[in-house]
């Protein structure tokens, strides 16, 4: 019997369990999952580009 937690079921239902890349850096082409545009640390994890206009949302 496959058991799944209620929390996991809710996450899947509302799309919070999605692990697809959410952003693409136009400078190096790296696709990454998390980023916070309001954060001081908003940058590409691959090349360090911190120009928020250089990121494309994939969602």
What pLDDT tens digit does each residue of the chain (59 aa) get?
Answer: 456 688 777 767 776 666 676 889 999 999 987 655 566 567 888 998 988 888 888 87
The pLDDT, as a whole number, for residue 28 is 95
Domain ranges of the chain: 6-57
Distance CA 40, CA 45 (A): 14
Provide the phi-psi class of 48: left if phi over 0, else alpha when psi is between -120 and 50, else beta. Answer: left
> Tokens 């019997």 map to which residue?
1
The pLDDT, as a whole number, for residue 30 is 92
Q: Is the whole model's pTM more than 0.75, yes or no?
A: no
> Tokens 């580009």 map to which residue?
49
**Which fold would CATH assign to domain 6-57?**
Rubrerythrin, domain 2 (2.20.28)
């Amino acid at each position: 019997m496959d058991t799944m937690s209620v929390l996991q079921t809710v996450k899947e239902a509302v799309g919070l369990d999605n692990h697809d890349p959410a952003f693409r850096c136009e400078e190096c082409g790296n696709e990454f999952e998390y980023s916070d545009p309001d954060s001081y640390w908003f940058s590409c994890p691959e090349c360090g580009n911190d120009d928020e206009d250089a990121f494309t949302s994939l969602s």
